[in-house]
Amino acid sequence: MAEKRVYFFGKGKAEGKAEMKHLLGGKGANLAEMTNLGVPVPPGFTIATSVCQEYESNKGKWPAGLNKEVDENIAKLEKAMGQKFGDNKNPLLVSVRSGAAVSMPGMMDTVLNLGLNDKAVEGLIEKTGNPKFVYDIYRRFIDMFADVVMGCSHSNFEKAIHAAKEKAGVENDNQLSAEQLQDVVEKYKAIYKKHVGSAFPQDPKKQLVNAVNAVFGSWESERAIKYRKLNKIESLLGTAVNVQAMAFGNMGEDSGTGVCFTRNPSTGKKEFYGEYLINAQGEDVVAGIRTPQPLKSLNKAMPNLYKELTALMTKLEKHYKDMQDIEFTIQEGELFVLQTRNGKRTAAAAIKIAVDMLKERLINNREAVHRVTANQLDTLLHPSFDTNAKRDVVAKGLPASPGAAVGQVVFDAEAAEKWEAQGKKTVLVRTETSPEDIGGMAAAEGILTVRGGMTSHAAVVARGMGKCCVAGCSDISINEKTKKFSVAGKTFKEGDWVSLDGSNGQLMAGAVPTVEPKMSGDFRKFMTICDKVRKIKVRTNADTPEDAEKAVGFGAEGIGLCRTEHMFFEGKRVWYVRQAILEADNYAEMKKEMEEAETKTEQQKIKSKYSETKKNFESALRRLASYQKKDFEGIFKAMAGKPVTVRLLDPPLHEFLPHDKATQSEMAKRLGVSLKKVKEQVEKLNEFNPMLGHRGCRLAVTYPEFYRMQAKAIIEAAIAASTPKKKVVPEIMIPLVGHVEELKIVKEEIVDEIKQVLKSHDTKLTYKIGTMIEVPRAALTADEIAAEADFFSFGTNDLTQMALGFSRDDVAKFTAKYIEYGIYKDDPFQVLDQSGVGKLIETGVKLGREQKKTLKVGICGEHGGEPNTIEFCADQGMNYVSCSPYRVPIARLSAAQAASK
């Protein structure tokens, strides 16, 4: 039997079902599901996504057999509706819509009122007695068909309707009379013929075939590809095509169309929410051309219908166990549901809905954590406007997507993308947005539109992106040519700073200061749910007591990476660092000479010079140690007994030396050496590939004194910060180990120092010594290394650099092309390269745990806050991930999602 390609739905029964989403697309599966549920869905049929793929590989031809199946379904549909395609009594009109397995709002082309032709127009007039409506939908259909299916731009028709309105002396389309519209139809046909090169097709089947092909073709359109890429949507077969009998919302004052949500998508509040337009088709709402009315006013206008709709909303939410986004049409007082889907929502709404639905027992913990995305959470962790700051509000629009956006004005998507690449923050200002603007919307800090409502393209997409958006700000007028907009007597040009408040719709002049985000009660509740579900711990990367405190506030369970070198640069201490570096070499040389001196006399000769060098070196180190001790003490106290992993000095020493002449001179003066000496030292420490040079534990092999100093500071700080109840157990981490012998040698020095410190303090202290796994060789020989280490921490930044041979400072020259060509799907420094670097981690964890079952393993590279990486780390059985303070909540969420997948 041949494969089934077309699935019928209607009259309470559908051939498809919800589980067939991959084949029927989200919309098709939903229509089937709703039909089966008894929801009043206009009947129709779905051409499967697999056909899109066949069409592609067939080079734009229909596979054999499809035509027959389509014809059979048209017949079925005609029967169900009691109508006929192109009939001059009761013609069948259909909508043709795309619908892939993953929702892509606005990305796919849609054709409405298909089936209209000169004969059907007659039939429809006869049936409805409403020639104005019929000519109106006919002219709309010609326009849309030309634009979407034949590639003849909508703007070609704009002039004609504009002229007609001018001639009639009216402002809105719906003020035109039937005759005037009939005239417009004729003009449209002429325009069509002129631009397309052939007459407007009168055969409804031919219209359908062309429309179906247009849907298929749009799957490979640039904007669709871009959207999939931006949203990392892959492995789909293609889009399905939904052909469905039309329901008319524009058949008069007892008709209408709308969009509704079962809960408020902006706040998450449990309320019926939405908007509708009387006497309009669906795209009028979505495109934001007319500003619609709020849903609750429908209760007054059509109370019965409102009751029916809200009952359906409740039914659908309960069925789908998630907030629903429902499109409906009222045709002459009769309700039709066109589609329902899980509604997009703001981050705050997502959290409230998850927490509420859990309370309502609609979902459980494991489901709840999947109701908020990491990106959504991220927006909540971004700053909002300082309430004390002065706001120069120049206009107000709809609060379409919350957030605080501060940026420079740009007027097109391209500029937004270009400026972002240059590191500039922008606010994208548009009359209305279209799918072509997706890239620019992603690049901008916020979006401001003149037209469109809360469910306009701009609003929906911005909410999906977690991006601030103010829509329908009709007070402003844009001049795209001069790249200016004016409002309230003020003019803003490209590059001017503005601020947008997505929570109240305000547009402000200038850059308004922002403040740190505050966590709402629901946020805390939601995070607690995440903590219940997740298995892997979340630590933070923090180098100061302030960061440590902030991270604890965000729920960090310890510090996974405390970098000590940042402390080296603070204030005066950099001079001691520089002195120590100068003396380190002198001392190393003198030490060697002393060791090699064969007789006591020889030793005596150099002894005074040796002692002086030693004294200088040690005194510089001692000063650093006292600074470091204070730093560590502050951090230990902030963490109050939570584990703290301190990484010993990592960067090459030349990073601490000045490279400009002025500072070199200052250094010479301060340290009492010649400028020549300073320059020589800078020159001597210079490296061709500092990334692979004399750094990390390699420094400690040649100059053990630095690590000894740090170990001393850590232990003394731990002693000072310990209380009888909360003992500090410092975790000392040795970076850049590639060979177990390095670790052994360095560890021996540190342990020796620690013993001395504990002895001199006459006390005991538990401490751990572990290592970063960031050199590929370390991962490959992790069994040997684990024998000497209390813990492993994967340093995925360096591990990525070495495993891929990518210098993070240099790859910008080619990574754009690499991602464009899809060599790497994501920047491997942002999203862990699981198939390459991941293998090293896998090997490292496996070998390490084989050697030492209790080995504590974590990750402290910047990937530690990236959701996919967190899932990977959890799968590897790591004990914790560590990330920047702001990413801690995201890590907690991602860990929970990973644990409940």
* Numbered residues of the known binding site for Mg(2+): 774, 798
Distances (CA, A) of 493 to 260, 509, 513: 37, 12, 21
**Taking CB under 8 A as the criterion, which residues in 456-475 touch a copy of itself?**
none
Q: Spot the catalytic one: 457, 468, 473, 863.
A: 457
- Kindly tell me which residue out of 63, 217, 634, 776 binds a copy of itself, with binding defined by CB under 8 A: 776
Could you give the string, one character per residue 614-643, with x where binding to a copy of itself holds by CB under 8 A and - elsewhere?
------------------------------
Which member of 806, 829, 872, 880 binds a copy of itself (CB under 8 A)?
806
Residue type, position 34, single letter: M
Interface with a copy of itself (CB under 8 A), residue from 222, 809, 853, 854:
809
Tell whether residue 823 is a contact of a copy of itself (CB under 8 A): yes
List the beta bridge partners of residue 384.
Answer: 515
The DSSP bridge pattern shows strands 6-10 and 44-47 to be antiparallel
Site for a copy of itself in 838-867 (CB under 8 A): 839-840
DSSP string, 449-474: ESS--TTSHHHHHHHHHT-EEEE--T
Q: Which is nearer to a copy of itself, 165 or 694 (CB)?
A: 694
Which of 197/822 has CB closer to a copy of itself?
A: 822
Q: Is 860 one of the annotated active-site residues of the chain? A: yes
Nearest approach, Cβ of residue 897 and a copy of itself (Å): 27
Specify the residue, 17 or 591, whose C-beta has the smaller distance to a copy of itself: 591
Query: By three-state DSSP, how is residue 595 classified?
Result: helix
Q: What's the rounded Cα separation, in Å, for the pair 8 and 35?
A: 10
Q: Nearest-CA neighbor of 458 among 430, 420, 483?
A: 430
Alpha-carbon distances of 626 from 543, 568, 575, 712, 856, rounded to whole Å:
16, 12, 14, 9, 30
By beta-carbon proximity to a copy of itself, the closer residue of 121 and 697 is: 697
The verdict on 280 binding a copy of itself (CB under 8 A) reads: no
Residue 801 lies near a copy of itself (rule: CB under 8 A): yes
Closest to a copy of itself by CB, 208 or 736: 736
Residue stretches of the annotated binding site for substrate: 563, 647, 774, 795-798
Residue 837 lies near a copy of itself (rule: CB under 8 A): yes
Task: Please identify which of the residues 562, 860, 873, 883 carries the catalytic annotation.
Answer: 860
CA angle at 114 for the pair 237 and 212, rounded to the nearest 5°: 20
Minimum distance, C-beta of residue 787 to a copy of itself, in the bound complex (Å):
14
Using CB under 8 A, pick the residue from 67, 334, 491, 814 that binds a copy of itself: 814
Q: Angle at which helices 573-596 and 661-671 pack, to 10 degrees? A: 60
Contact 863, 532 (CB under 8 A): no
Structure tokens at 503: 């929570």
Q: Any idea which residue has 């019928």 for tokens?
A: 8
Instruction: Report CA dihedral (384, 386, 389, 392) to the nearest 10 degrees.
Output: 10
Place of tokens 């329901």: 247
Task: Examine the residue annotation and report whether 319 is marked as an active-site residue of this protein.
Answer: no
Which of residues 300, 595, 805, 853 is near a copy of itself by CB under 8 A? 805
Stretch of 68-76, 249-257, 383-391, 741-749 lying at the interface with a copy of itself (CB under 8 A) = 741-749
Instruction: Give me the least distance between CB of 415 and a copy of itself, in Å please.
Output: 14
Distance from C-alpha of 66 to C-alpha of 523, rounded to nearest angstrom: 51
> Residues 401, 456: contact at Cβ < 8 Å?
no
Q: Does 741 interact with a copy of itself (rule: CB under 8 A)?
A: yes
Angle subtended at Cα 860 by Cα 858 and Cα 864, rounded to the nearest 5 degrees:
90
Verify binding: residue 497, a copy of itself, rule CB under 8 A: no
Q: How far is the CB of 553 from a copy of itself (least distance, A)?
A: 36
Least Å distance between CB 107 and a copy of itself? 21
The count of chain residues that interact with a copy of itself, using the rule CB under 8 A, is 48
Of 687 and 752, CB closest to a copy of itself: 687
- E strands, 101-238, are 111-114
Per-residue contact string for residues 685-704; x = within reach of a copy of itself by CB under 8 A: --xxxxxxxx---x--xx--
Residue type, 75: A
User: Quick one: which of 361, 572, 817, 853 contacts a copy of itself (CB under 8 A)?
Assistant: 817
Q: Which is nearer to a copy of itself, 780 or 831 (CB)?
A: 780
CA count, 13 A, side-chain hemisphere, 447? 35
Nearest in space to 265 (alpha carbons), one of 103, 454, 111: 454
Q: Cβ distance 463 to 398 under 8 Å?
A: no
Using the rule CB under 8 A, give the single segment among 34-42, 331-339, 450-458, 828-836 that binds a copy of itself.
828-836
User: Are the beta carbons of 775 and 737 closer than 8 angstroms?
Assistant: yes
In which residue are the tokens 């601020």 written?
499
Residue 811 CB, shortest distance to a copy of itself, in Å, is: 8
CA 629 to chain centre: 40
Amino acid in position 304: N
Considering beta carbons, is residue 199 or 421 the nearer one to a copy of itself? Answer: 421
Q: Which two tokens stand for residue 471?
A: 């829509």
CB of 171 or CB of 809, closer to a copy of itself: 809
Choosing from 198, 388, 835, 854, the residue that interacts with a copy of itself (CB under 8 A) is: 835
Residue 33's φ and ψ, nearest 5 degrees, are: -60, -50
For 263-389, strand residue ranges (E) read 273-278, 293-294, 324-331, 334-342, 384-385
Among the listed residues 497, 575, 656, 824, the single contact to a copy of itself using CB under 8 A = 824
| Under rule CB under 8 A, residue 821 binds a copy of itself | yes
Query: The dihedral of CA 873, 874, 877, 883: what is its sign?
Result: positive
Shortest Å, Cβ 501 to a copy of itself: 35
Question: Can you list the alpha helix ranges (DSSP code H) found in 360-412?
Answer: 365-368, 374-380
Cβ-based neighbour number of residue 877 at 10 Å: 12
Q: Which of 563, 551, 552, 558 is nearest to 536 (CA)?
A: 558
Q: Could you give the C-alpha distances from 571 to 100, 577, 623, in angstroms and in order?
A: 58, 11, 13
Stretch that binds a copy of itself, among 57-65, 117-125, 320-328, 777-785 (CB under 8 A): 777-785
Does position 234 interact with a copy of itself (CB under 8 A)? The reply is no
Q: Which is nearer to a copy of itself, 186 or 810 (CB)?
A: 810
**Token duo for residue 261:** 């949500």
Name the minimum Å distance from CB 335 to a copy of itself: 44
Alpha-helical runs (H) found in 431-544: 438-443, 457-465, 521-533
Q: How far is the CB of 691 from a copy of itself (least distance, A)?
A: 4
Q: Which stretch binds a copy of itself (CB under 8 A): 142-150, 548-556, 740-748, 861-869?
A: 740-748
Could you say whether residue 818 binds a copy of itself (CB under 8 A)? Answer: yes
SS (H, E, C) 91-134: EECEEEEEEECCCCCCCCCCEEEECCCHHHHHHHHHHHCCHHHH
The residues near 120 (Cβ < 8 Å, ≥ 6 apart) are 85, 86, 87, 88, 91, 93, 204
Which residue in the set 93, 718, 803, 870 belongs to the binding site for a copy of itself (CB under 8 A)?
803
* Nearest distance from C-beta of residue 593 to a copy of itself, angstroms: 13
Which segment (39-47, 534-542, 606-614, 773-781) binds a copy of itself by CB under 8 A?
773-781
Nearer to a copy of itself by C-beta: 638 or 746? 746
Q: Which is nearer to a copy of itself, 11 or 839 (CB)?
A: 839
CB of 842 to a copy of itself, least distance (A): 10
Least distance in Å: CB of 690 to a copy of itself?
7
- Binding-site positions read 563, 647, 774, 795-798
User: If binding is defined by CB under 8 A, does position 807 make contact with a copy of itself?
Assistant: yes
Residues that bind a copy of itself (CB under 8 A): 687-694, 698, 701-702, 736, 738-739, 741-742, 745, 774-777, 780-781, 798, 801-807, 809-811, 813-814, 817-818, 821-824, 833, 835-837, 839-840
- Catalytic residues, by residue number, are 457, 860
